[in-house]
Amino acid sequence: MVRKTKEDAELTRLAIIEAARAVFLARGVSRSTLEHIAAKADVTRGAVYWHFKNKTEIFHAIRDQVFLPLIDRMDDTLASESKDDPLTQIENSLCDTINELSRNIEMQQTYEIMMIKCEYVDEFATVLQQILNNCSNITEKIQLAYERASKKNLLAGSHSPRALAQDTHLFFSGLLHMWVKDFDGSRFRYQATELIKSHINLRRK
Amino acid sequence: MVRKTKEDAELTRLAIIEAARAVFLARGVSRSTLEHIAAKADVTRGAVYWHFKNKTEIFHAIRDQVFLPLIDRMDDTLASESKDDPLTQIENSLCDTINELSRNIEMQQTYEIMMIKCEYVDEFATVLQQILNNCSNITEKIQLAYERASKKNLLAGSHSPRALAQDTHLFFSGLLHMWVKDFDGSRFRYQATELIKSHINLRRK
DNA sequence: TTATATACAAACAAGAATGTATGTAAATAA
DNA sequence: TTATTTACATACATTCTTGTTTGTATATAA
Protein backbone atom coordinates (compact mmCIF):
# COMPACT_ATOMS: atom_id res chain seq x y z
CA MET A 1 0.00 0.00 0.00
CA VAL A 2 1.18 3.48 -0.67
CA ARG A 3 2.20 5.87 2.09
CA LYS A 4 0.27 9.05 1.84
CA THR A 5 0.86 12.05 4.02
CA LYS A 6 4.12 13.90 4.51
CA GLU A 7 4.33 12.52 8.02
CA ASP A 8 4.05 9.01 6.69
CA ALA A 9 6.73 9.72 4.14
CA GLU A 10 9.05 10.99 6.83
CA LEU A 11 8.45 7.82 8.78
CA THR A 12 9.40 5.83 5.72
CA ARG A 13 12.57 7.87 5.40
CA LEU A 14 13.50 7.20 8.99
CA ALA A 15 12.67 3.52 8.61
CA ILE A 16 15.01 3.32 5.65
CA ILE A 17 17.82 4.97 7.59
CA GLU A 18 17.27 2.65 10.52
CA ALA A 19 17.18 -0.37 8.26
CA ALA A 20 20.31 0.76 6.48
CA ARG A 21 22.13 1.08 9.79
CA ALA A 22 21.26 -2.48 10.68
CA VAL A 23 22.16 -3.79 7.25
CA PHE A 24 25.44 -1.86 7.07
CA LEU A 25 26.35 -3.21 10.48
CA ALA A 26 25.62 -6.79 9.54
CA ARG A 27 27.05 -6.89 6.02
CA GLY A 28 29.36 -3.91 5.76
CA VAL A 29 28.55 -0.91 3.61
CA SER A 30 29.89 -2.34 0.35
CA ARG A 31 28.08 -5.63 0.53
CA SER A 32 24.82 -4.01 1.50
CA THR A 33 22.49 -3.58 -1.44
CA LEU A 34 19.56 -1.26 -1.69
CA GLU A 35 17.43 -4.36 -1.95
CA HIS A 36 18.66 -5.54 1.45
CA ILE A 37 17.89 -2.17 2.95
CA ALA A 38 14.49 -1.91 1.32
CA ALA A 39 13.50 -5.37 2.47
CA LYS A 40 14.60 -4.63 6.03
CA ALA A 41 12.54 -1.45 5.99
CA ASP A 42 9.56 -3.28 4.49
CA VAL A 43 9.48 -1.17 1.37
CA THR A 44 10.70 -1.62 -2.18
CA ARG A 45 13.73 -0.14 -3.84
CA GLY A 46 11.35 2.33 -5.37
CA ALA A 47 10.84 3.93 -1.98
CA VAL A 48 14.54 4.01 -1.27
CA TYR A 49 15.31 5.69 -4.58
CA TRP A 50 12.53 8.16 -3.92
CA HIS A 51 14.07 9.29 -0.63
CA PHE A 52 17.76 8.91 -1.45
CA LYS A 53 19.87 9.29 -4.54
CA ASN A 54 21.94 6.22 -3.76
CA LYS A 55 23.66 4.26 -1.01
CA THR A 56 26.18 6.98 -0.33
CA GLU A 57 23.45 9.43 0.55
CA ILE A 58 21.98 6.99 3.03
CA PHE A 59 25.41 6.57 4.54
CA HIS A 60 25.70 10.31 5.07
CA ALA A 61 22.22 10.46 6.52
CA ILE A 62 23.19 7.86 9.10
CA ARG A 63 26.35 9.72 9.91
CA ASP A 64 24.65 13.08 10.25
CA GLN A 65 21.92 11.67 12.45
CA VAL A 66 24.40 10.56 15.09
CA PHE A 67 27.75 12.25 14.63
CA LEU A 68 26.77 15.85 14.32
CA PRO A 69 24.82 15.93 17.61
CA LEU A 70 27.70 14.16 19.32
CA ILE A 71 30.28 16.69 18.23
CA ASP A 72 28.15 19.53 19.55
CA ARG A 73 27.73 17.73 22.80
CA MET A 74 31.43 17.18 23.28
CA ASP A 75 32.17 20.77 22.44
CA ASP A 76 29.66 21.88 25.03
CA THR A 77 31.06 19.76 27.83
CA LEU A 78 34.57 20.95 27.15
CA ALA A 79 33.90 24.62 26.67
CA SER A 80 31.36 25.19 29.39
CA GLU A 81 32.35 27.26 32.38
CA SER A 82 31.67 24.60 34.95
CA LYS A 83 32.45 24.59 38.60
CA ASP A 84 34.71 21.58 38.13
CA ASP A 85 38.41 22.03 37.68
CA PRO A 86 39.53 21.83 34.05
CA LEU A 87 41.05 18.38 34.40
CA THR A 88 37.80 16.98 35.74
CA GLN A 89 36.08 18.74 32.91
CA ILE A 90 38.18 16.86 30.36
CA GLU A 91 37.61 13.66 32.25
CA ASN A 92 33.87 14.20 32.29
CA SER A 93 33.78 15.04 28.65
CA LEU A 94 35.50 11.82 27.70
CA CYS A 95 33.50 9.72 30.15
CA ASP A 96 30.31 11.32 28.91
CA THR A 97 31.07 10.23 25.39
CA ILE A 98 31.76 6.69 26.51
CA ASN A 99 28.59 6.61 28.58
CA GLU A 100 26.56 7.90 25.69
CA LEU A 101 28.15 5.26 23.50
CA SER A 102 27.22 2.60 26.04
CA ARG A 103 23.58 3.41 26.29
CA ASN A 104 22.81 4.80 22.84
CA ILE A 105 22.74 1.78 20.61
CA GLU A 106 22.24 3.75 17.43
CA MET A 107 25.36 5.72 18.14
CA GLN A 108 27.16 2.50 18.94
CA GLN A 109 26.18 0.97 15.64
CA THR A 110 27.04 4.11 13.73
CA TYR A 111 30.50 4.23 15.25
CA GLU A 112 31.04 0.59 14.45
CA ILE A 113 29.99 1.13 10.85
CA MET A 114 32.23 4.15 10.43
CA MET A 115 35.21 2.46 12.02
CA ILE A 116 35.24 -1.10 10.81
CA LYS A 117 32.43 -1.58 8.33
CA CYS A 118 33.26 1.05 5.75
CA GLU A 119 35.99 1.51 3.16
CA TYR A 120 37.16 5.07 2.80
CA VAL A 121 37.61 5.32 -0.94
CA ASP A 122 36.08 7.43 -3.71
CA GLU A 123 32.92 9.13 -2.43
CA PHE A 124 33.74 8.10 1.13
CA ALA A 125 37.24 9.52 1.12
CA THR A 126 35.97 12.99 1.92
CA VAL A 127 34.62 11.70 5.20
CA LEU A 128 38.17 11.06 6.33
CA GLN A 129 39.00 14.70 5.94
CA GLN A 130 35.98 15.63 8.01
CA ILE A 131 37.08 13.23 10.71
CA LEU A 132 40.55 14.75 10.78
CA ASN A 133 39.04 18.21 11.08
CA ASN A 134 36.86 17.11 13.97
CA CYS A 135 39.90 15.69 15.66
CA SER A 136 41.71 18.98 15.30
CA ASN A 137 38.82 20.83 16.86
CA ILE A 138 38.53 18.48 19.77
CA THR A 139 42.25 18.58 20.39
CA GLU A 140 42.11 22.35 20.46
CA LYS A 141 39.28 22.33 22.96
CA ILE A 142 41.20 19.94 25.16
CA GLN A 143 44.26 22.12 24.87
CA LEU A 144 42.33 25.13 26.08
CA ALA A 145 41.19 23.14 29.09
CA TYR A 146 44.76 22.11 29.83
CA GLU A 147 45.82 25.72 29.56
CA ARG A 148 43.26 26.63 32.17
CA ALA A 149 44.50 23.78 34.31
CA SER A 150 48.04 25.02 33.89
CA LYS A 151 47.12 28.51 35.01
CA LYS A 152 45.42 27.09 38.08
CA ASN A 153 48.60 25.12 38.76
CA LEU A 154 46.84 21.79 38.68
CA LEU A 155 49.30 19.98 36.43
CA ALA A 156 52.07 17.66 37.51
CA GLY A 157 55.37 18.22 35.77
CA SER A 158 55.90 20.96 33.23
CA HIS A 159 54.45 19.63 30.03
CA SER A 160 52.98 21.90 27.43
CA PRO A 161 49.18 22.00 27.20
CA ARG A 162 49.55 21.34 23.50
CA ALA A 163 51.47 18.10 24.03
CA LEU A 164 49.10 17.02 26.78
CA ALA A 165 46.10 17.66 24.58
CA GLN A 166 47.54 15.69 21.68
CA ASP A 167 48.40 12.83 23.98
CA THR A 168 44.90 12.82 25.44
CA HIS A 169 43.33 12.97 22.03
CA LEU A 170 45.38 10.06 20.73
CA PHE A 171 44.59 8.10 23.86
CA PHE A 172 40.90 8.68 23.37
CA SER A 173 41.02 7.82 19.69
CA GLY A 174 42.67 4.57 20.56
CA LEU A 175 40.14 3.94 23.28
CA LEU A 176 37.21 4.48 20.94
CA HIS A 177 38.68 2.15 18.36
CA MET A 178 39.29 -0.54 20.92
CA TRP A 179 35.90 0.00 22.49
CA VAL A 180 34.25 -0.61 19.15
CA LYS A 181 36.35 -3.64 18.25
CA ASP A 182 35.85 -5.16 21.65
CA PHE A 183 32.48 -6.79 20.95
CA ASP A 184 32.20 -9.07 23.92
CA GLY A 185 33.30 -6.26 26.18
CA SER A 186 35.81 -8.32 28.04
CA ARG A 187 38.78 -6.10 27.46
CA PHE A 188 37.79 -2.49 27.15
CA ARG A 189 34.10 -1.78 27.46
CA TYR A 190 33.79 -2.30 31.17
CA GLN A 191 36.93 -0.47 32.16
CA ALA A 192 36.80 2.46 29.78
CA THR A 193 35.98 5.06 32.41
CA GLU A 194 38.69 3.69 34.67
CA LEU A 195 41.18 4.06 31.87
CA ILE A 196 40.09 7.64 31.34
CA LYS A 197 40.40 8.50 35.01
CA SER A 198 43.78 6.89 35.12
CA HIS A 199 44.85 8.85 32.07
CA ILE A 200 43.83 12.13 33.62
CA ASN A 201 45.30 11.28 37.00
CA LEU A 202 48.67 10.93 35.32
CA ARG A 203 48.50 14.66 34.81
CA ARG A 204 47.25 15.80 38.19
CA LYS A 205 49.64 17.40 40.60
CA MET B 1 53.06 -16.63 -22.74
CA VAL B 2 52.93 -19.22 -20.04
CA ARG B 3 55.19 -19.04 -17.02
CA LYS B 4 57.20 -22.16 -16.69
CA THR B 5 59.52 -22.88 -13.81
CA LYS B 6 58.62 -22.86 -10.13
CA GLU B 7 60.66 -19.72 -9.65
CA ASP B 8 58.63 -18.01 -12.35
CA ALA B 9 55.44 -19.15 -10.72
CA GLU B 10 56.55 -17.74 -7.39
CA LEU B 11 57.27 -14.45 -9.10
CA THR B 12 53.77 -14.47 -10.49
CA ARG B 13 52.39 -15.12 -7.03
CA LEU B 14 54.32 -12.19 -5.61
CA ALA B 15 53.28 -9.99 -8.51
CA ILE B 16 49.64 -10.80 -7.79
CA ILE B 17 50.05 -9.94 -4.11
CA GLU B 18 51.77 -6.70 -4.98
CA ALA B 19 49.13 -5.83 -7.52
CA ALA B 20 46.38 -6.66 -5.06
CA ARG B 21 47.91 -4.34 -2.48
CA ALA B 22 47.89 -1.49 -4.94
CA VAL B 23 44.36 -2.22 -6.11
CA PHE B 24 42.99 -2.66 -2.59
CA LEU B 25 44.57 0.63 -1.63
CA ALA B 26 43.08 2.48 -4.57
CA ARG B 27 39.61 0.95 -4.66
CA GLY B 28 39.10 -0.61 -1.26
CA VAL B 29 38.94 -4.36 -0.75
CA SER B 30 35.26 -4.76 -1.62
CA ARG B 31 35.33 -2.84 -4.84
CA SER B 32 38.47 -4.55 -6.04
CA THR B 33 37.76 -7.37 -8.44
CA LEU B 34 40.02 -10.22 -9.36
CA GLU B 35 40.02 -8.80 -12.87
CA HIS B 36 41.45 -5.51 -11.57
CA ILE B 37 44.15 -7.36 -9.69
CA ALA B 38 44.97 -9.66 -12.58
CA ALA B 39 45.24 -6.77 -15.00
CA LYS B 40 47.52 -4.84 -12.64
CA ALA B 41 49.73 -7.90 -12.32
CA ASP B 42 49.71 -8.43 -16.09
CA VAL B 43 48.13 -11.85 -15.86
CA THR B 44 44.62 -13.17 -16.33
CA ARG B 45 42.13 -14.22 -13.71
CA GLY B 46 43.17 -17.76 -14.50
CA ALA B 47 46.55 -17.13 -12.92
CA VAL B 48 44.97 -15.53 -9.88
CA TYR B 49 42.62 -18.46 -9.35
CA TRP B 50 45.54 -20.83 -9.76
CA HIS B 51 47.49 -19.21 -6.92
CA PHE B 52 44.64 -18.17 -4.65
CA LYS B 53 41.28 -19.56 -3.81
CA ASN B 54 39.63 -16.14 -3.83
CA LYS B 55 40.03 -12.51 -2.84
CA THR B 56 40.00 -13.27 0.86
CA GLU B 57 43.05 -15.49 0.52
CA ILE B 58 44.93 -12.72 -1.23
CA PHE B 59 43.96 -10.37 1.56
CA HIS B 60 45.43 -12.72 4.13
CA ALA B 61 48.57 -13.15 2.06
CA ILE B 62 49.08 -9.39 2.06
CA ARG B 63 48.48 -9.25 5.78
CA ASP B 64 50.85 -12.08 6.59
CA GLN B 65 53.58 -10.65 4.40
CA VAL B 66 53.76 -7.45 6.42
CA PHE B 67 52.08 -7.86 9.78
CA LEU B 68 53.64 -11.03 11.06
CA PRO B 69 57.23 -9.80 10.68
CA LEU B 70 56.26 -6.54 12.31
CA ILE B 71 54.82 -8.16 15.40
CA ASP B 72 57.96 -10.19 15.89
CA ARG B 73 60.04 -7.10 15.53
CA MET B 74 58.09 -5.17 18.12
CA ASP B 75 58.26 -8.08 20.52
CA ASP B 76 62.00 -8.19 20.09
CA THR B 77 62.57 -4.53 20.75
CA LEU B 78 60.46 -4.63 23.87
CA ALA B 79 61.71 -7.85 25.36
CA SER B 80 65.39 -7.52 24.61
CA GLU B 81 67.76 -6.95 27.51
CA SER B 82 69.16 -3.72 26.23
CA LYS B 83 71.45 -1.29 27.95
CA ASP B 84 68.78 1.39 27.72
CA ASP B 85 66.47 2.03 30.61
CA PRO B 86 63.04 0.43 30.22
CA LEU B 87 61.28 3.68 29.44
CA THR B 88 63.68 4.41 26.62
CA GLN B 89 63.13 0.87 25.47
CA ILE B 90 59.39 1.46 25.16
CA GLU B 91 60.05 4.75 23.45
CA ASN B 92 62.42 3.12 20.97
CA SER B 93 60.03 0.32 20.28
CA LEU B 94 57.24 2.73 19.37
CA CYS B 95 59.51 5.03 17.40
CA ASP B 96 60.95 2.05 15.57
CA THR B 97 57.53 1.04 14.42
CA ILE B 98 56.78 4.54 13.21
CA ASN B 99 60.11 4.75 11.42
CA GLU B 100 59.55 1.44 9.76
CA LEU B 101 56.12 2.63 8.73
CA SER B 102 57.65 5.77 7.27
CA ARG B 103 60.20 4.11 5.08
CA ASN B 104 58.53 0.81 4.26
CA ILE B 105 55.89 1.71 1.75
CA GLU B 106 54.45 -1.78 1.54
CA MET B 107 53.86 -1.78 5.26
CA GLN B 108 52.33 1.66 4.97
CA GLN B 109 49.93 0.52 2.30
CA THR B 110 49.05 -2.63 4.19
CA TYR B 111 48.25 -0.67 7.33
CA GLU B 112 46.14 1.72 5.34
CA ILE B 113 44.22 -1.13 3.75
CA MET B 114 43.62 -2.86 7.06
CA MET B 115 42.55 0.32 8.81
CA ILE B 116 40.43 2.24 6.35
CA LYS B 117 40.03 0.19 3.20
CA CYS B 118 38.49 -2.96 4.57
CA GLU B 119 35.15 -3.92 6.08
CA TYR B 120 35.39 -6.38 8.92
CA VAL B 121 32.41 -8.59 8.25
CA ASP B 122 31.94 -12.28 7.47
CA GLU B 123 35.28 -13.83 6.50
CA PHE B 124 37.12 -10.72 7.62
CA ALA B 125 35.59 -10.60 11.06
CA THR B 126 38.06 -13.12 12.39
CA VAL B 127 40.88 -10.71 11.65
CA LEU B 128 39.47 -8.37 14.29
CA GLN B 129 39.92 -11.01 16.94
CA GLN B 130 43.52 -11.48 15.85
CA ILE B 131 44.10 -7.77 16.11
CA LEU B 132 42.68 -7.70 19.63
CA ASN B 133 44.93 -10.57 20.62
CA ASN B 134 47.98 -8.79 19.24
CA CYS B 135 47.02 -5.73 21.20
CA SER B 136 46.82 -7.76 24.37
CA ASN B 137 50.26 -9.19 23.78
CA ILE B 138 51.81 -5.84 23.08
CA THR B 139 50.18 -4.30 26.12
CA GLU B 140 51.59 -7.09 28.26
CA LYS B 141 55.06 -6.55 26.89
CA ILE B 142 54.80 -2.85 27.61
CA GLN B 143 53.56 -3.60 31.09
CA LEU B 144 56.60 -5.76 31.78
CA ALA B 145 58.83 -2.91 30.69
CA TYR B 146 56.98 -0.52 32.99
CA GLU B 147 57.41 -2.98 35.82
CA ARG B 148 61.13 -2.97 35.25
CA ALA B 149 61.05 0.81 35.18
CA SER B 150 59.12 0.82 38.42
CA LYS B 151 61.67 -1.40 40.11
CA LYS B 152 64.46 0.88 38.95
CA ASN B 153 62.49 3.78 40.41
CA LEU B 154 62.31 5.61 37.09
CA LEU B 155 58.63 6.44 37.18
CA ALA B 156 57.09 9.71 38.23
CA GLY B 157 54.07 9.39 40.46
CA SER B 158 52.79 6.06 41.69
CA HIS B 159 50.77 4.69 38.86
CA SER B 160 50.42 0.99 38.28
CA PRO B 161 52.46 -0.49 35.43
CA ARG B 162 49.26 -2.06 34.16
CA ALA B 163 47.47 1.28 33.88
CA LEU B 164 50.51 2.90 32.32
CA ALA B 165 50.79 0.13 29.77
CA GLN B 166 47.15 0.36 28.78
CA ASP B 167 47.40 4.11 28.46
CA THR B 168 50.49 3.79 26.29
CA HIS B 169 48.91 1.16 24.15
CA LEU B 170 45.78 3.20 23.56
CA PHE B 171 47.90 6.24 22.81
CA PHE B 172 49.86 4.28 20.24
CA SER B 173 46.74 2.79 18.69
CA GLY B 174 45.35 6.25 18.27
CA LEU B 175 48.64 7.47 16.85
CA LEU B 176 48.75 4.73 14.26
CA HIS B 177 45.19 5.42 13.18
CA MET B 178 45.84 9.12 12.85
CA TRP B 179 49.14 8.51 11.12
CA VAL B 180 47.39 6.43 8.50
CA LYS B 181 44.51 8.84 8.01
CA ASP B 182 46.82 11.79 7.80
CA PHE B 183 47.66 11.44 4.11
CA ASP B 184 49.29 14.75 3.49
CA GLY B 185 51.29 14.38 6.66
CA SER B 186 50.55 17.83 7.87
CA ARG B 187 49.17 16.87 11.24
CA PHE B 188 50.72 13.69 12.52
CA ARG B 189 53.30 12.13 10.28
CA TYR B 190 56.06 14.60 10.88
CA GLN B 191 55.62 14.88 14.61
CA ALA B 192 54.90 11.28 15.50
CA THR B 193 58.22 10.62 17.23
CA GLU B 194 57.89 13.86 19.14
CA LEU B 195 54.49 12.78 20.37
CA ILE B 196 55.93 9.47 21.49
CA LYS B 197 58.79 11.10 23.35
CA SER B 198 56.40 13.48 24.97
CA HIS B 199 54.15 10.60 25.98
CA ILE B 200 57.01 8.74 27.62
CA ASN B 201 58.41 11.86 29.26
CA LEU B 202 55.11 12.24 31.06
CA ARG B 203 56.09 9.14 32.97
CA ARG B 204 59.71 9.87 33.73
CA LYS B 205 60.70 10.92 37.21
C1' DT C 1 -14.02 19.51 -8.71
C1' DT C 2 -10.25 18.81 -11.46
C1' DA C 3 -5.33 18.86 -12.17
C1' DT C 4 -1.06 17.98 -10.56
C1' DA C 5 2.39 16.48 -7.60
C1' DT C 6 3.66 13.03 -4.12
C1' DA C 7 5.09 8.58 -2.56
C1' DC C 8 5.81 4.87 -3.62
C1' DA C 9 5.57 -0.36 -6.29
C1' DA C 10 6.77 -3.11 -10.14
C1' DA C 11 9.03 -4.15 -14.30
C1' DC C 12 12.94 -3.68 -17.33
C1' DA C 13 17.55 -3.46 -19.32
C1' DA C 14 22.41 -3.70 -18.96
C1' DG C 15 26.68 -4.39 -17.04
C1' DA C 16 29.60 -6.48 -13.54
C1' DA C 17 31.72 -10.05 -11.05
C1' DT C 18 32.24 -14.67 -9.79
C1' DG C 19 33.33 -19.45 -10.19
C1' DT C 20 34.04 -23.13 -13.12
C1' DA C 21 35.18 -25.61 -17.12
C1' DT C 22 38.05 -26.23 -20.83
C1' DG C 23 42.21 -25.63 -23.58
C1' DT C 24 47.25 -25.65 -23.95
C1' DA C 25 52.23 -25.05 -23.98
C1' DA C 26 56.01 -25.94 -21.39
C1' DA C 27 58.37 -28.37 -17.55
C1' DT C 28 59.23 -32.34 -15.17
C1' DA C 29 58.84 -37.25 -13.94
C1' DA C 30 59.04 -41.93 -15.31
C1' DT D 1 61.01 -40.72 -25.07
C1' DT D 2 56.51 -40.48 -23.43
C1' DA D 3 53.22 -39.34 -19.82
C1' DT D 4 51.79 -36.37 -16.64
C1' DT D 5 51.72 -32.18 -14.07
C1' DT D 6 52.20 -27.35 -13.78
C1' DA D 7 50.94 -22.82 -14.73
C1' DC D 8 48.49 -20.47 -16.64
C1' DA D 9 44.81 -18.27 -20.70
C1' DT D 10 40.25 -18.34 -22.56
C1' DA D 11 35.44 -19.11 -22.72
C1' DC D 12 31.03 -19.81 -20.51
C1' DA D 13 27.09 -19.68 -17.48
C1' DT D 14 24.99 -17.63 -13.71
C1' DT D 15 23.94 -14.53 -10.30
C1' DC D 16 23.86 -9.81 -8.46
C1' DT D 17 23.18 -4.88 -8.57
C1' DT D 18 22.18 -0.90 -10.27
C1' DG D 19 19.66 2.83 -12.39
C1' DT D 20 15.76 3.95 -14.92
C1' DT D 21 11.26 3.71 -16.52
C1' DT D 22 6.61 3.10 -16.07
C1' DG D 23 2.41 2.60 -13.48
C1' DT D 24 -0.73 4.10 -9.85
C1' DA D 25 -3.29 5.36 -5.77
C1' DT D 26 -3.63 9.03 -2.85
C1' DA D 27 -3.01 13.79 -1.22
C1' DT D 28 -3.01 18.39 -2.11
C1' DA D 29 -3.39 22.70 -4.72
C1' DA D 30 -6.12 25.57 -7.74
Computed from CA positions of residues A129, A130, A136, A142, in that sequence, does the dihedral angle turn out positive or negative? Answer: negative
* Length A138 CA → C30 C1' (Å): 73
Q: Is the confidence metric ipTM above 0.95 for this complex?
A: no
> What CATH number did the domain enclosing B6 receive?
1.10.10.60
B102 & B122 share domain: yes
A128 & A197 share domain: yes
Tell me, yes or no, whether A46 lies in a domain: yes
CB contact under 8 A, B28 and A175: no
B158 & B127 share domain: yes
Can you give the pLDDT at residue B1?
A: 47
Tell me, yes or no, whether A57 lies in a domain: no
Residue A117 neighbours by CB under 8 Å, 6+ apart: A24, A25, A28, A29, B119, B120, B121
B111 & B42 share domain: no
Can you give the pLDDT at residue A187?
A: 80
A180 & A81 share domain: yes
Number of domains chain B is built from: 2
What SS3 state is found at B59? Answer: helix
Nearest to A119 among B118, B163, B174 (CB): B118
For residues A127 and A188, the model is more confident at: A127
> What's the pLDDT tens digit per position in A2-31?
557 887 889 999 999 999 999 999 999 999
A74 & A163 share domain: yes
CB A189, CB A179: distance < 8 Å: yes
B81 & B103 share domain: yes
- What's B80's DSSP letter? S
Q: Which residue range(s) make up the domain with B97?
A: 62-201
Tell me, yes or no, whether B57 lies in a domain: no
* Length B123 CA → C29 C1' (Å): 39
Can you give the pLDDT at residue B82?
A: 73
* Length B96 CA → D13 C1' (Å): 52
Span of A70-79, A153-162, B108-117, B162-171 with lowest mean pLDDT: A70-79
Nearest to A119 among B29, B132, B136 (CB): B29
CB B159, CB A198: distance < 8 Å: yes
Closest-CA residue in chain B for A157? B202
Q: Kindly list the residues of chain B whose beta carbon comes within 8 Å of any beta carbon in chain A.
A: 26-31, 116-122, 128, 131-132, 135-136, 156-157, 159, 163-164, 166-167, 169-175, 177-178, 181-183, 187, 195, 198-199, 201-203
B144 & B83 share domain: yes
> What CATH number did the domain enclosing A108 receive?
1.10.357.10
A43 & A99 share domain: no
A32 & A97 share domain: no
Nearest to A202 among B170, B173, B202 (CB): B202
* pLDDT exceeds cutoff 70 at A51: yes
A84 & A35 share domain: no
* pLDDT exceeds cutoff 90 at A120: yes
> 10-residue block means of pLDDT along chain B (205 residues)?
74 97 98 98 97 97 87 78 86 94 94 97 92 91 96 93 97 96 84 96 94
- Rounded to whole angstroms, what are the CA distances from A12 to A19, A110, B136? 10, 19, 44
A77 & A112 share domain: yes
Average pLDDT, chain A: 92
Tell me, yes or no, whether A108 lies in a domain: yes
CA triplet B108, B25, B187: central angle to 5 degrees?
50
